[in-house]
Amino acid sequence: MNVMEVRNVKKIYSSKLNGNESQALKDISFSVKKGEFLGVMGPSGSGKSTLLNVISTIDTPTGGTVAIGGKSIINLDEDELSEFRRSRLGFIFQDYNLLDTLTLKENIILPLSLARQDVRVIEEKVKKISSILGIDDILNKSPYEVSGGQKQRAAAARAIITEPELILADEPTGALDSKSSTELLENLSELNKQNAATIVMVTHDAFSASYCNRIIFIKDGLLNCELERKGSRKEFFNEVLKTLSNLGGVLSDLV
Amino acid sequence: MTLFKLSVHNIKHNFRSYFSYFISTLFSVFMLFMFYSIYYNKQMEAFSNGRVKVYTIFKAASIIVIIFSALFIWYANSFFIKSRKKEMALYSILGMKKKEIGTLLFCENMFLGILSIIIGLPLGVIASKFLLQLLVNIMKARVVVQYTVESRAVIATTLIFIALFLFNSIKAYGEYISSGSLNF
């Protein structure tokens, strides 16, 4: 079953000043199956962040359709949009975006409290998710009291707590050191396996991408190629590196 | 967590980012009250009675003070809202409705406004006492001025600022509702 269908998505940015147009996405189609951990890679400027913004309803495409759970997410009205974001979408940002005024626990349960869920149900969910992510002993701390890796795991918990159909991650390891990155990626693949969570992760880092089941490569606003993981993570990592160097761009920019 | 609770929580725990806005509104309240308490002071009234010029100057000056406070608060408010764009975008992506976020902004604005009236008025009382004495000294008037807290000054200041804050809170709400895409 496909959780997400992206069909012929285009995005054109036009400048109001001189009428210049730039095509960030030319024609992109792909689908994501339930329980998949999909990576989106490409050199900078290839349009991967634009794609993620379109999928997450932060931005609207110029053409094409995006359907999540069989329902189009283009041209939703205000109520449908907030309902979609609240219950069907989880988002992990590069720079965490936790609220400094709330404790980690309050941050994690914010989507549920905004949806006015029962307190007992919330407590249970927090317990379960924080133990998977290994943050159960720091739940009552403020975001500025914990490390970047712990913040990002709290952000991941916030994204997953509503049990959304789709979790979108925009360079989640971009601000983390290698140890925290590894922990977070292992957590994500754990969530992917245990909860059958569907994850789409944008990254330019081959190591992060090697945790995915499948990777699509984007170049100049077009789908360039696709890579499926068959063997071990190490083999997949080497394959990713090879594909990236074929794709062009400076290698040091990609690794 | 209800919207009301969240707005109180935000102000309590994030006072630093509200501080510059709060200080500017506090200052406006303080200034206007100081002015009004001299304007409405009984002895000053008796002094200016019959002197049309003094009365008109005071009247004109009070309008100027109100206009400047309004512009000042308007500007401070826009700056304050802009500095919180990212937070609003986060609420939105977590599934809060535009109306709810607008209401949150409205509540926070009103809280801060009312708080600055509550703190600004007593400060104004203390300062205007000194200012009145200074004024009398400068004018070299040989009178002992009795300072009294004028209820008319309190009421006028409170009403004017509640109107200003209400207007700004509605503006903040309206601007958010009509704003376009999310900015992270």
Average pLDDT on A144-159 reads 90
Joined together, the tokens standing for residue A54 give: 């379109």
Joined together, the tokens standing for residue A238 give: 């080497």
Weakest mean pLDDT among A16-25, A91-100, B25-34? A16-25
Write down the H helix ranges in B14-150.
15-39, 42-48, 52-82, 85-93, 98-139
- Model pTM? 0.80
Compute the mean pLDDT over every residue in chain A, rounded to the nearest whole number: 87
Compute the distance between CA of residue A29 and CA of residue A8 in angstroms, rounded to an integer.
5
A83 touching B, CB under 8 A? yes
A42 touches A204 (CB < 8 A): yes
Please judge whether B94 and A106 are an interchain contact, meaning their C-beta atoms are less than 8 angstroms apart: no
Give the pLDDT score at A169.
92
Structure ipTM over 0.85, yes or no: no
| Phi, psi for A143 (deg, rounded to 5) | -55, -30
Structural domains of chain A, count: 1
Domain that holds residue A38: 2-254
Chain A residues with CB-CB distance to B9 below 8 A: 101-102
Instruction: Give pLDDT tens digits for B97-135.
Output: 888 888 888 888 888 889 999 999 999 888 888 888 888
Average pLDDT on A212-239 reads 90
Q: Which of residues 146-165 of A touch B (CB under 8 A)?
A: 158
DSSP lists the bridge partners of residue A22 as A13
Chain A residues with CB-CB distance to B94 below 8 A: 85-86, 110-111, 114, 158
Chain B residues with CB-CB distance to A84 below 8 A: 95
Q: In Å, how far is A85's CA from the nearest CA of chain B?
A: 5
A94 touches A170 (CB < 8 A): yes
Q: In Å, how far is A223's CA from the nearest CA of chain B?
A: 26
Please judge whether B1 and A97 are an interchain contact, meaning their C-beta atoms are less than 8 angstroms apart: no
Average pLDDT on B23-46 reads 83
Is residue A252 helix, strand or coil?
A: helix
B94 touching A, CB under 8 A? yes
A133 touches A187 (CB < 8 A): yes
Closest residue in B to A94 (Cα) is B184
Task: Check whether A229 has a pLDDT greater than 80.
Answer: yes
CATH number at residue A33: 3.40.50.300
Give the pLDDT score at B81.
83
Chain B residues with CB-CB distance to A97 below 8 A: 86, 90, 184
Joined together, the tokens standing for residue A53 give: 């913004």
Please judge whether B14 and A101 are an interchain contact, meaning their C-beta atoms are less than 8 angstroms apart: yes
Chain B residues with CB-CB distance to A106 below 8 A: 1
Query: DSSP characters for B92-117?
Result: HHTT--HHHHHHHHHHHHHHHHHHHH
Q: Which of residues 56-75 of A touch B (CB under 8 A)?
A: 56, 58-60
Please judge whether A86 and B87 are an interchain contact, meaning their C-beta atoms are less than 8 angstroms apart: no
Chain A residues with CB-CB distance to B100 below 8 A: 114
Kindly indicate the confidence band of residue B50, based on its pLDDT and cuts at 50, 70 and 90: low
Kindly indicate the confidence band of residue A29, based on its pLDDT and cuts at 50, 70 and 90: very high
Instruction: Give pLDDT tens digits for A48-86.
Output: 888 988 998 888 899 999 998 888 988 888 888 888 888
Please judge whether A99 and B86 are an interchain contact, meaning their C-beta atoms are less than 8 angstroms apart: no
Give the pLDDT score at A167.
92
Give the pLDDT score at A200.
94
Task: Check whether B4 has a pLDDT greater than 70.
Answer: yes
A119 touching B, CB under 8 A? no
